[in-house]
Structures are given as C-alpha cells and as structure tokens.
Chains A and B, each alone.
Chain A
Amino acid sequence: EVQLLESGGGLVQPGGSLRLSCAASGFTFRSYAMSWVRQAPGKGLEWVSKISGSGDSTYYADSVKGRFTISRDSSKNKVYMQMNSLRAEDTAVYYCAKNGGVYFDYWGQGTLVTVSS
C-alpha cells in the first residue's frame, strides 16, 4: 500500500524558512518522480514543484522559483521542500504527491504552513 506522510509544517514569520518532509512507502521510491502541491485556505490546488526519480531534474512553479528547493533522499525514501523567504501568500496546506507518469496518483494527507507575524 502506497503511503505518503508529510511533516514539518507550522507557523513561520514572513521572510523565514521551513523545511517540509514527505516519507514514502509501498513502492519503489527511486523509480517515480514526486511533486508538491499546495492549497491556500479556501482556494484551489496549485502545483508547486516536481523532482525526477533520480533527483537529477527539478521543476518549479514561477510563484516559488528561486525561493523553494525540492530534493530527495532515496536511502531514506523521503522528499523534501526547503522553503525560504516565505510570504503570506505561501500560507497553504502542502501535499506530497507521487507521480504516475505526468499525473498524480497518490497523495499524502498534507501539512499546514502558516506564514504570519
């Protein structure tokens, strides 16, 4: 059974940093790309970033490019999102998602990030 468990969310001040983690199990981790998708309160879903199975390729939405960094550790079956220079508009539930091709086939439960002073 595929399981994705996010952690690391919390309250952070504007301009601050936070690192999210996603622990994956139930599939051959290094064979699949992984993504982060976020949802601001009362808003729709927004794709944020993606990393290839090998970790060699990374992709970012324009809204986070230069501030967020996605990475993965295949020895731990984990994906990370380092978030720097956080803004109020980054407040959202962040979901970790497994890519099945170019779509998202499994989702975690999400972790809430609140950027506020």
Chain B
Amino acid sequence: QTVVTQEPSFSVSPGGTVTLTCGLTSGSVSTTHYPSWYQQTPGQTPRTLIYDTNTRSSGVPDRFSGSILGNKAALTITGAQADDESDYYCVLYMGSGFSVFGGGTKLTVL
C-alpha cells in the first residue's frame, strides 16, 4: 500500500525560507497527483493553501508557493512569520476518486 510521506517536523527562523516536501513510499509525485496543501493550527479548521500543485487559494499570501521538486511535491514558505507556526498537510489524488493525506509536518518558527 502506497503511503504519502512528509517530514514529521521542521523548524525555520523568522524571515527565513523553508521547503516542506510530500512524497510517496512507492513511485514519484507528479502533477497528475494534483498535490494540495493545507495549514492547520491546533484546535482550528484546516485552511487550504495550495491546490493543483502550485495554485494559491484565495487570500493566501504569495510567500506560500507550491511546486514539484524532483520526485516530490513541495511547499515553500518564504519570509516565515511567527503565525506560520502550524501543522501542514499535503494531499495527493490517487485516481478513481481517492485522495490520501500525508502524515503532516509540524513547523516551528523560532
């Protein structure tokens, strides 16, 4: 069974740049997986950041960007701010109506 992988945790300094990745235990991530990214702070509803690999959702600042890097999807945060400290989840579309979440990355800004 293919699993979607993410770094369990990451840290970034305020003002710094961080790239979170989303991979597969078997195979490569491509645009045909329509990678999407979601931000969730504890106790809050998820917020949609990026969809279709690199399209920002309405109201999302342009310091959030999505891409394919090598064989993984990637979420890059440029100029990290304190309120970017959250959990970040990727989702890959596996075809035939099925989507799979990654395990999430806990981002610390310090």
User: Which residues of A are at the interface with B, using a C-beta cutoff of 8 A?
Assistant: 35, 37, 44-47, 50, 52, 57, 59, 61, 95, 100-110
Contact of A104 with B52 in the complex, beta carbons under 8 Å: no
Note all chain B residues with C-beta closer than 8 A to A108: 45
Does more than half of chain B's interface fall in helix, strand or loop, or is it mixed? strand
Question: What 20 new A-B contacts, CB under 8 Å, besides A47-B98, A105-B51?
Answer: A37-B46, A44-B101, A44-B103, A44-B104, A45-B40, A45-B46, A47-B99, A47-B101, A59-B96, A59-B97, A95-B45, A95-B46, A101-B34, A102-B36, A102-B99, A103-B93, A104-B46, A106-B48, A107-B48, A110-B45
Note all chain A residues with C-beta closer than 8 A to B102: 44
The reply on B91 being an interface residue by CB < 8 A is yes
* Chain A residue at minimum C-beta to C-beta distance from B57: A105
B45 to chain A, nearest CB (A): 5
B13 to chain A, nearest CB (A): 25
B interface, size bucket: 20 to 34
The reply on B110 being an interface residue by CB < 8 A is no
Contact of A101 with B51 in the complex, beta carbons under 8 Å: yes
A-B contact pairs, 10 of them (CB 8 A): A44-B101, A45-B38, A45-B104, A50-B98, A57-B97, A59-B96, A102-B34, A102-B93, A105-B51, A105-B57
